[in-house]
Structure 1
Amino acid sequence: MRDLNLYDFKRALPRMSWTGENLYNLWRRSLGEPAKEIDFTRTQKSLFQQRWIAKRLIRAYHGDFINEKTFKRWYMPTTLPDVRPRRAQTEVQTTQLNKWAKLPKAVDKDAKSRRREIDGEDQEELPPRRIDVVIFRACLAHSVYDARRMVVHGQVLLNGKKHQNANTRLAPGDMVSVDPKVISFLQPRTLSADKSSEELAVEDLKDEIPASTEQSTPAAKDKTLTPFHLPAYASPFIFVPAYLEVSYPTCSVVYVRHPTARPGYSEIPTPYDADGEVVRLAWEWYSKVRPRNRSKRQLAREPENRQ
């Protein structure tokens, strides 16, 4: 099963999920023992090992729900924004870099413009454009895996029409609607080992009854309002990116624009620094192993791109 051992504490790989186990793994990758693994300032690991570790972490968060071949062919390395400020290089450093990148010796003045950095065209291949990732980022699903299941099972509408392709990359202006019956936040809470039915009933009563009669409003007395129950440990993950416009009364989200990235700023949600070593080393890994030749057969298998 694809979802088996997703939150294994030994590997401690952060995922796109709101579970308490994932929050614990995020903490361990930040302050715990596994954080030493990505401290590349003083390490005895080879450059290949450093790149592989960085690639493993980036893929676990941004693309473990995508086939490996599809991920590295259509999404990487343009997924990784190079937002580091450009530093002046000497002629010797530039020659060595071009030699490592297997570029021709004669480099014209416009060589910098051909660097593989994020720009308007590169944004077309970003996983944040995927419909399942958009649903998760809009806080309409507990995890990207739940969002993917919603799409595959036909419980999602794209611009008012049923859509079942989770690989679709949205275009600015697309509206995604989710069936309220499959959003767990809107469903009655089930009994847990810690709380009895009487305790849940008291909490629900507190949510429905205002604190005082002076503060009561017609909306507070309206029993037709759907209760909203957030899961435990949800507060660290509750945020909506700037490129999404969410309407919770209608359970829909509008993909307003593509996420942007520039030196010192990136709108792509990630647990790793956009200008850090993990992103840089993963970019170098995929820039070496990413397939470059795309035949007609491969182009026919490209994920749906709505431009």
Structure 2
Amino acid sequence: MQEEQASAEKTGSKVGESRLSTPPTRRWITRGLVLLLMLSVLLNLGFYAWYQEYFTIAGGPTEQFETGDQFASDKIAIISITGTIMPPFTERILESIKTAHEDKQVKGILLEIDSPGGLVADSHQIYHRLVELRKKKPIVVSMKRMAASGGYYVAMGAGEEGVIFAEPTTWTGSLGVIIPRFDLSGLAEKVGVVSDPLKTGEFKDALNPFREMTQRERDIWDHILDESYQRFLNIITDNRKDLDYEQVKKLATGQIYPATDARENGLIDEIGYQEDALARLQEMTNLKKVRVIRYRHPVTLADILLGSAEASQVENRKQALLDSTVPRAMYFASWLGEVPGLQ
């Protein structure tokens, strides 16, 4: 009897354990289903972003009502330049400019800038398109937190007839050009790293961070920097009627100017907010009833996965040393501490 009772107790214990624990097969099935669900969600988000982006290419950005009379036929378009000026955001800005240029109902442009600058080529592309746009429609600039370096460069698209507003707390200026480079030759020597690239020309690895730059290489890059720098100075001179070349050159030391100093030095026209800039633009266009709209672009897959448009600019930190060998001339506020491509 005792043996039978013990056997029954063991059997009951095993049954209880089997009821409490999940079979391994079932656990793997559950995990597999969860993984498939997550992949399905990501794929659907990707297809949605691709769909939005594909069907916006031909039609351009969408309009979002901002303020004013929503039933008015005449419009003021807000074109926003936010964050670092670089792809893929450059293309979005250019699309907005093109849409405003072709829309006959758009009578004026409010250029909203909140940017520390960016790539030289991209800044100039935007400026060039704004010059074409201002021939047909007036442009007023509203600077937000900062409009530094390339951010100030694109503001010159408003021209002599345009008006530049900056908020009381805006930082602007930082006029100049920078090509980021690290010199790790001392560290390489300590750890025994020798740079020995296979190259087809003397200057092919001129920005190699693992050795010191030669004087011939430095002379070449100084020339390239000066060419972009002189273009920057001339563009400011051409578009700020109260500043000549020598005055601009004195201001172009790379330093930042708060709004009050920027106005005293002729870099901006007024200290005020977006509503003040819109009121001035409405006066310039002689519009009593106007619909203020903002251009919006569809969310891309990068925006969805990384959380924001700005996040998509962040590159893998493990690539920083390799990226430093790639020449990237920038109208960028280097005082921010981090530079696109070297974050």
Bin for the TM-score computed over the shorter chain: under 0.3
The structure number with the bigger radius of gyration is: 2
What TM-score, normalized to structure 1? 0.24
Q: With structure 2 as the length reference, what TM-score do the two structures score?
A: 0.23
Which structure has more strand as a fraction of its residues? Answer: 2
